Amino acid sequence: MATDNAASRLRELLVRAKAIDPNTASVHAWEQLLQTKKNPALLLSRLGKVIALPESIDATLSNSVGTVPGVVSHISNQFYAAFSAHKFGEKWEVFITRIDDHMMNYLALASTLLEAQIKTKRLEESEIEELRKSFVELLDQVRAAELPLRLKSYVVLQLHDLISSLDDYFITGAEPILERIETTIGHAYIDPEYKDFLEDHELGKSLLNCLGAAANLVTVAVGIPQLSQLILQLQHGG
C-alpha cells in the first residue's frame, strides 16, 4: 500500500523538481512542478503550501513519534534557506542545487518514521479525478439552479473549496479534503435551510451522494471511517 504524509509528498515534489531542465527559468519550473498553467495567483497559493510542508512534518513527527531534532531542523533550515535566497527570474539550477542529498535522505527517513505511526493510504490520481469530476458537474448544476441567494452562495463556495482541496492533494494530502467534507456536512446542524436543502432538494441529495463517495474514500485513507455515518443520517432525515 502506498502511504501518504507531508514528508513523502515533499520528497516526491523535490524528486520531480530535480528532473526539470536546470536551464529553465525558475518561474516556469514552478509552474510545471505545481501545475499552475501560468496562473500567478494559483502559483503563489500552491508555493505557500509547499513552503509550509516542513512545518507540517515537524508538527506531525513531534506529535506522533517524538521529536527528531537532527532530521527536522536540517529539513526546515535548508528548505527555508533555499527559498529565502530564491528569485523567480534565475535559472532553476540555482534553486534546486541548494537542496542537497542530506535533505532528500532526511525526508526519506522522516517519511519512514511517519509511516510507522500514521497509516495513511495514498489516493490514486484516478480516484481524485473521479471525485473532482462529480463535484465540478454538481457545481455547474447549482450555479444554474434557482435557489435562495444565501443558500446558493454557501453551496457554491463549499463546492469550490472541495474542488480546490482535491486539486491540491498532491501537495497537501487528504486532511484538507476531509476538513472540507466535515464543514460541508456539519453546517447542516446549524443552518435549517441548508439542512432542508440537503434532505429535500435533488441537488442537495446529489451533494450528499458526492460527499458520501468522497468521505468513503478519504476517511478510509486516513483511518477514520465514522464520518460516513453522519451523511447517512442526513440522507435518512436525521
In this model, does residue 225 exceed pLDDT 90? no
In this model, does residue 1 exceed pLDDT 60? no
In this model, does residue 227 exceed pLDDT 60? no
Query: pLDDT grade, residue 39 (50/70/90)?
Result: very high
15-29, 69-83, 95-109: range with lowest mean pLDDT: 69-83
Write the pLDDT tens digit of every residue in 88-114.
999 999 999 999 998 999 999 888 888
Query: pLDDT grade, residue 27 (50/70/90)?
Result: very high
- At 204 the pLDDT is 96
Q: Which residue has the cell 435518512?
A: 236
> For residue 71, what are the CA distances in angstroms to 58, 61, 182, 218?
9, 10, 33, 29
In this model, does residue 12 exceed pLDDT 80? yes
- Cα separation, 100 vs 86, in Å, equals 15
- At 120 the pLDDT is 77
In this model, does residue 220 exceed pLDDT 90? no
Beta carbons within 10 angstroms of residue 88's beta carbon:
13
Written as one string, the DSSP assignment of 151-218 is HHHHHHHHHHHHHHHHHTHHHH-SHHHHHHHHHHHHGGGT-HHHHHHHHHSHHHHHHHHHHHHHHHHH
Query: pLDDT grade, residue 3 (50/70/90)?
Result: low
> For residue 37, what are the CA distances in angstroms to 34, 41, 238?
9, 11, 43
Mean pLDDT over 166-184 rounds to 93
- Cα separation, 137 vs 142, in Å, equals 9
- At 228 the pLDDT is 56
